[in-house]
A and B are shown apart, each in its own frame.
Chain A
Amino acid sequence: MSALQVSYLLVLVPALAAVATLALRRWQGPATLVSVGAALVSLLLAVVGLVVAPVRGTDLVPLRGSYAVGGLDLPLQLGAGPATAAVAAVVALVAAAVLVFTRWYLAADDRLAVFAATVSLFTAAMMLVVHSRDLVLTVVGWEVMGWCSYLLIGHWSRKESARRAALKAFLVTRVADIGFVLGVVGLCAGAGSTGLDTVVAAWTSDEAPGSPALRSTLLVLVVIGVLGKSAQFPFQDWLPDAMEGPTPASALIHAATMVAAGTVVLAQLFEVLVLADGARWVLGLATAVTMVGAAVLALGQSDLKRLLAWSTVSQVAIMLSALATTTRDVGPDPALFHLWSHAIFKSLLFLTIGWLSVIAGSTLASALRGAGHGHPLARVAWLFGLLALAGAPFVVGGLSKEHVVVTAYEGAASAGGPGVVVLAALLVTVVLTAAYAVRAHLVVSAPVPNSPIPPLGPDTPGPNGGIGEKSTGHAGMPSAPVLASLAVLTVLTVVGGLVLLTGLFDVHGASVWWMVLTTLLIVIGGGLAWLARGSGDPRDQFVRTPRHRALADSGFGADTAYRALVARPVLGLARVVAFLDREVVDGYVRGAAASAGVAGWLAERGHRRESPSAGLGLLALGLLVAAGTAVLTWR
């Protein structure tokens, strides 16, 4: 089986599974079995893809020719490469783990099959984006992901907050997608083809179709779309709100698919991006602001699931910052490697907190205190996931973060661009990440378990407005497949760094000095959190007043800012347009209607009387109008 056939199958199998699951949705059990089976098949395919992955630099012969649409070349082809195979493998792995977990977690949900179908479709879309060698296919996958995320976040649509979160996610990413689509259209129009290789070749050649400023502008537009999808500043606020969705959906969105898709697309366009200084500056500054701000917010969250959400925002910013700072020699692979490791440990963390929340009945930190007692596997998984998140040396997250730091350092040292800013932000983020990771660990493994909290129904919000988790009705011990998948993810979190030995990711070696420095920073951050633990949650030492807590939980009030800066002006503009439409444009139409009515009334009156003088009057009027027209148009 060739690598190309694997890539086509990896897109088709989840897509067909989604259709089949949806068709079987009346029989929940078989339907979810179909989707889980398809996910396992695609995982197997992805492993095969890893084996047959082409060596770097070899050109794959496409399976068929391209279509010509007008003046545009439309190849509509998929491709495969070493990094692509690795990312596809991790996407398949996360999707399979999420589906297995969903079967247990949402067992009592009456729309389980629909959820599973959406997850499969989501996976297919991500696979499409990963394998796409055609920007049109990329946009298709991109949009399908946006739609699926809307469905998944709003899965519990009976909850007002879930509906609002889904709408918010959809609208925010949609606004940013305007930039993405415009940028893609500009790139394709300049190159005369939608094929990725043609586009990259056209825009990197010396006689590029546009000036460097135009190239930079188009890339900035693409970067805006990526910032929206990846929940980066200033679009960051939809992702924490998306925690209203079921935990498996969060795991999928955060770990492997939607927020990481931007990294994949920018890595595909890397050759052009590295030439577009404006786009790199926009990307670098936005990610630098995001990674620090999100890490601070993660430290202050009262809800551990939202803590994970902010950590995702921060980690995705780290991935994208690698793309913003890397040089042409280093390439985009450090970012893809961080995507790979982040997918593994973040899905592990989300699935674990899903389990813990079933035990505790809520995702609030106060409810989760000591939830890890009596569940050693959950505690181990949580610990290793947090170690990877904090970037401890040699676990997968630590290795990839080292590479990002080194990449940023090399970018700052050798080339211009936002390298210095990003490097500083990265080092600050390392400290903060260690702090909130230690905090999350302390909360879960606290020695004194809380008094048991009754499980919450799906429609009741958690205490203090926290995110109500669905009660599954069982005693909190997951089924064997779930435990197995968690174990696999845990093992991969520890040993996943070995992927570097396969040469799938083309990254340079990390330097020992940087590793020592970051370890020092991690110890400082973790130690601060440890010292601040006091008798309870370390957070209480950092955010003391209720006002600060509210500010942290609302993400620095970004939602209010969206309302004031975007929603209200847009609504005002809409009102003005509606007024103009109703009162001005419609005025002519209504005037025409009214004059026709008056003319009709007059004619009707004239006819009703059937008097000769009325006819005479009409005749005279007609003649007068005709003569007037003749005279006025005479000259």
Chain B
Amino acid sequence: MIHLLGPYVVAALLVGLGVMGVLARRNAVLVLVGVELILSGSLVLLVAAGATAPSRWEASSVLPLFVITIAAAEVVVALAVILTAFRHRGSIDMDEAL
């Protein structure tokens, strides 16, 4: 037996922390850290949704796998963009005008 309140609260907190990280950081790489936290929060919510009720085609297990994979691909591209930008500008400060 498990209460669903726990996963919901943890998911909400993780998303909130992720938003805070995205907005507060000036280092582009650390902005990505915030994005990862938001994604993990959504992951918790997705899994919690499937943990209790029977899910058709086991979507609650399969879809998190897809999410993780897509997130990995996104991180790869984002880091490539950041590195390119760094090479062009010599800085990855988000506050600097382009």
Binding between chains A and B: yes
Q: List residues of A whose CB falls within 8 A of some B CB.
A: 609-614, 616-617, 620
Contact B22 A611 (CB under 8 A): no
- When distances are taken between beta carbons in the complex, the residues of chain A under 8 Å from B31 are 616
Q: How distant is the Cα of A609 from the Cα of B95 in the complex, in angstroms?
A: 8
CB distance from B96 to the nearest CB of A (A): 6
Q: How distant is the Cα of A213 from the Cα of B55 in the complex, in angstroms?
A: 78
- When distances are taken between beta carbons in the complex, the residues of chain B under 8 Å from A620 are 19, 22-23
Contact B98 A612 (CB under 8 A): yes
- When distances are taken between beta carbons in the complex, the residues of chain A under 8 Å from B19 are 620
Q: Does B94 contact A (CB under 8 A)?
A: yes
Q: List 19 A-B contacts (CB under 8 A).
A: A609-B95, A609-B97, A610-B97, A610-B98, A611-B94, A611-B95, A611-B96, A611-B97, A612-B28, A612-B98, A613-B23, A613-B26, A613-B94, A613-B95, A614-B95, A616-B22, A616-B31, A620-B19, A620-B23
Q: Which of B42-98 contact A (CB under 8 A)?
A: 94-98
CB distance from B82 to the nearest CB of A (A): 11
- Partner of A616 from B23, B96, B97, B98 at Cβ < 8 Å: B23
Sample of 10 more A-B contacts, CB < 8 Å, known A609-B95, A610-B98, A620-B19: A610-B97, A611-B94, A611-B97, A612-B94, A612-B95, A612-B98, A613-B23, A613-B94, A616-B23, A616-B94
- When distances are taken between beta carbons in the complex, the residues of chain A under 8 Å from B28 are 612
CB distance from B33 to the nearest CB of A (A): 14
CB distance from B77 to the nearest CB of A (A): 16
**Nearest residue in A to B92 (C-beta to C-beta)?**
A612
CB distance from A320 to the nearest CB of B (A): 82
CB distance from B22 to the nearest CB of A (A): 6
Q: List residues of B whose CB falls within 8 A of some A CB.
A: 19, 22-23, 26, 28, 31, 94-98
CB distance from B39 to the nearest CB of A (A): 15
**Nearest residue in B to A624 (C-beta to C-beta)?**
B19
Count of A-B contacts judged by CB separation below 8 Å: 26
CB distance from B57 to the nearest CB of A (A): 28
Q: How distant is the Cα of A612 from the Cα of B31 in the complex, in angstroms?
A: 11
Q: How distant is the Cα of A616 from the Cα of B97 in the complex, in angstroms?
A: 13
**Nearest residue in B to A621 (C-beta to C-beta)?**
B23
Q: How distant is the Cα of A613 from the Cα of B95 in the complex, in angstroms?
A: 6
Q: How distant is the Cα of A617 from the Cα of B22 in the complex, in angstroms?
A: 9
**Nearest residue in B to A615 (C-beta to C-beta)?**
B94
- When distances are taken between beta carbons in the complex, the residues of chain B under 8 Å from A612 are 28, 94-95, 98
- When distances are taken between beta carbons in the complex, the residues of chain A under 8 Å from B96 are 611
- When distances are taken between beta carbons in the complex, the residues of chain B under 8 Å from A610 are 97-98
Q: How distant is the Cα of A612 from the Cα of B19 in the complex, in angstroms?
A: 15
- When distances are taken between beta carbons in the complex, the residues of chain A under 8 Å from B98 are 610-612
- When distances are taken between beta carbons in the complex, the residues of chain A under 8 Å from B97 are 609-611
CB distance from B93 to the nearest CB of A (A): 8
**Nearest residue in A to B28 (C-beta to C-beta)?**
A612
**Nearest residue in B to A623 (C-beta to C-beta)?**
B19
Q: How distant is the Cα of A631 from the Cα of B51 in the complex, in angstroms?
A: 24
Q: How distant is the Cα of A609 from the Cα of B31 in the complex, in angstroms?
A: 19
Q: How distant is the Cα of A609 from the Cα of B26 in the complex, in angstroms?
A: 14
**Nearest residue in B to A609 (C-beta to C-beta)?**
B97
Q: How distant is the Cα of A316 from the Cα of B82 in the complex, in angstroms?
A: 98
- When distances are taken between beta carbons in the complex, the residues of chain A under 8 Å from B23 are 613, 616-617, 620
- When distances are taken between beta carbons in the complex, the residues of chain B under 8 Å from A611 are 94-98
- When distances are taken between beta carbons in the complex, the residues of chain B under 8 Å from A613 are 23, 26, 94-95
- When distances are taken between beta carbons in the complex, the residues of chain B under 8 Å from A616 are 22-23, 31, 94
Q: How distant is the Cα of A280 from the Cα of B22 in the complex, in angstroms?
A: 84
Q: How distant is the Cα of A614 from the Cα of B95 in the complex, in angstroms?
A: 7
CB distance from B12 to the nearest CB of A (A): 12
Q: Which 5 A-B pairs have the closest CB atoms?
A: A613-B94, A612-B94, A610-B97, A611-B95, A613-B95
**Nearest residue in A to B24 (C-beta to C-beta)?**
A613
Q: How distant is the Cα of A476 from the Cα of B19 in the complex, in angstroms?
A: 100
Q: How distant is the Cα of A261 from the Cα of B70 in the complex, in angstroms?
A: 92
CB distance from B45 to the nearest CB of A (A): 14
CB distance from A68 to the nearest CB of B (A): 69
Q: How distant is the Cα of A250 from the Cα of B96 in the complex, in angstroms?
A: 85
Q: How distant is the Cα of A609 from the Cα of B94 in the complex, in angstroms?
A: 11
Q: How distant is the Cα of A610 from the Cα of B31 in the complex, in angstroms?
A: 18
- When distances are taken between beta carbons in the complex, the residues of chain B under 8 Å from A609 are 95, 97
CB distance from A100 to the nearest CB of B (A): 89
Q: How distant is the Cα of A610 from the Cα of B97 in the complex, in angstroms?
A: 5
- When distances are taken between beta carbons in the complex, the residues of chain A under 8 Å from B26 are 613
**Nearest residue in A to B95 (C-beta to C-beta)?**
A611
Q: How distant is the Cα of A616 from the Cα of B25 in the complex, in angstroms?
A: 11
Q: How distant is the Cα of A620 from the Cα of B26 in the complex, in angstroms?
A: 15
CB distance from A507 to the nearest CB of B (A): 96
Q: How distant is the Cα of A394 from the Cα of B23 in the complex, in angstroms?
A: 105
Q: How distant is the Cα of A134 from the Cα of B23 in the complex, in angstroms?
A: 76
CB distance from A446 to the nearest CB of B (A): 101
Q: How distant is the Cα of A610 from the Cα of B94 in the complex, in angstroms?
A: 10
CB distance from A375 to the nearest CB of B (A): 99
CB distance from A609 to the nearest CB of B (A): 6
Q: How distant is the Cα of A610 from the Cα of B96 in the complex, in angstroms?
A: 8
Q: How distant is the Cα of A614 from the Cα of B94 in the complex, in angstroms?
A: 8
Q: How distant is the Cα of A617 from the Cα of B98 in the complex, in angstroms?
A: 16
CB distance from B10 to the nearest CB of A (A): 19
CB distance from A210 to the nearest CB of B (A): 67
CB distance from B31 to the nearest CB of A (A): 8
**Nearest residue in A to B26 (C-beta to C-beta)?**
A613
**Nearest residue in A to B19 (C-beta to C-beta)?**
A620
Q: How distant is the Cα of A620 from the Cα of B31 in the complex, in angstroms?
A: 13
**Nearest residue in B to A620 (C-beta to C-beta)?**
B23
Q: How distant is the Cα of A609 from the Cα of B93 in the complex, in angstroms?
A: 13
CB distance from B91 to the nearest CB of A (A): 12
Q: How distant is the Cα of A613 from the Cα of B23 in the complex, in angstroms?
A: 7
CB distance from B59 to the nearest CB of A (A): 23
**Nearest residue in B to A610 (C-beta to C-beta)?**
B97
- When distances are taken between beta carbons in the complex, the residues of chain A under 8 Å from B94 are 611-613, 616
Between B19, B94, B98, the greatest number of chain A beta carbons within 10 A of the residue's beta carbon is seen for: B94
CB distance from B53 to the nearest CB of A (A): 21
CB distance from A625 to the nearest CB of B (A): 13
Q: How distant is the Cα of A616 from the Cα of B95 in the complex, in angstroms?
A: 10
CB distance from B11 to the nearest CB of A (A): 14
Q: How distant is the Cα of A489 from the Cα of B41 in the complex, in angstroms?
A: 106
